[in-house]
Amino acid sequence: MGFDAPGGPDVFRPEELPLPEPGENQLLIRVAWAGVNRPDVIQRQGFYPPPPGASPIPGLEVSGTVVAVGKGVQPEMLNRRVCALVSGGGYAEYCLANAAHCLHVPHGMDMAEAAAIPETLFTVWHNVFERGWAREGETLLVHGGTSGIGTMAIMLAKAFEMKVVTTAGSEDKCQAARVLGADLAINYREADFVEEVKAFTGGKGVDVVLDMVSGDYVARNLECLADDGRHVTIAVLGGLKAEINMATIMRKRLTLTGSTLRPRSDEFKALLADEIHNHAWPLFEDKTIRPVMDRSFPLRDVAAAHARMEGGDHIGKIVLEVAGG
């Protein structure tokens, strides 16, 4: 599925393109399912162009079967079930992936669930545990706790014995976050999350904030942080600019950082995938963690999938059925 010009969900249209051929270190996946993510929406709106060399077709994560391999890829990868982080091209019947950015899909894992994992898992692992230095016994504040990123962050943090505070826009969403393990879920429409965090932590504050809002949330997030806290920004849904008090940063010895995953090098993503495979993937293999699934749509109804994401009512991941499996 592609589009000729940026716009609303209805700009999507079917298109036929030549079958991609895998290059060095690449493999070709016959796509079963593709995940829908906020960056796909932003790309469709015209604000997030694909990096050089990436497919212009949206879609950053897929599951499916390997049907061809390029130079440097082990032949035994053929016919394997994999899920993959890709830099584009997921909304299609066939998609190229770097072999080192794939995770094997274990027996018994649903392929729709497999497609819902890579983008959020890679993003949360890198930003919470690598950039945010999160560790056992600490407290994480994550906004948008029922989004794909939010649900993944809650589950991973709890699996590594952290406390989790989250925000959401309704009591139903707060309850969904509690079911996932959130120690405190705050309805931001009815309560001041800064005051709630301070009360929950006895005035200490949280150790890590995973921020998807930015804008005027940043100053409030800094109020929530404990001494030596880390603030990690991964999206700017609330605005590109923030006004902050630098004295607060100095007094609390805070670290402000952030990242975008899509434009990072293949080498970086391969190292990240290897760390995830060793430390996080076993939690999915034994079903300690399963992605929270919202709703699935056939690929032809991608416009409806995007409309649901933009509407904000979803809890967990939205996926597209391409060929089933």
| Tens-place pLDDT, residues 105-121 | 999 999 999 999 999 99
Cα(122)–Cα(135) distance, rounded to whole angstroms? 17
Query: How many CB atoms lie under 10 A from the CB of residue 65?
Result: 18
The reported pTM is 0.94
The residue ranges of the chain whose pLDDT is under 50 are none
Domain range list for the chain: 9-117+262-321, 121-258
How many degrees, rounded to 5, is the angle at CA 245 between CA 241 and CA 251?
140
Q: Quick check: 121 and 280 in contact, CB under 8 A?
A: yes
Cβ atoms 182, 168 nearer than 8 A: no
Task: List CB contacts of 8: < 8 A, sequence separation 6 or more.
Answer: none
Residues 129-162 pLDDT 10s: 999 999 999 999 999 999 999 999 999 999 999 9
Model pLDDT, residue 324: 64
199 phi/psi in degrees, rounded to 5: -65, -45
Domain 121-258 classification at class level: alpha beta
| Closest-CA residue to 83 (of 297, 299, 281, 312) | 281
Q: Which CATH superfamily is domain 9-117+262-321 in?
A: Medium-chain alcohol dehydrogenases, catalytic domain (3.90.180.10)
C-alpha angle with apex 251: 167 to 205, nearest 5 degrees? 25
Q: What is the pLDDT of residues 177-195, one digit of tens each?
A: 999 999 999 999 999 999 9
What per-residue confidence (pLDDT) applies to 325?
Answer: 58
Determine the Cα angle at 192 with ends 315 and 224, to 5°.
Answer: 90
Q: What whole-number distance in Å separates Cα of residue 9 and Cα of residue 237?
A: 18
Domains 9-117+262-321 and 121-258 share a fold: no
Separation between Cα atoms, residue 153 and residue 172, nearest integer Å: 19
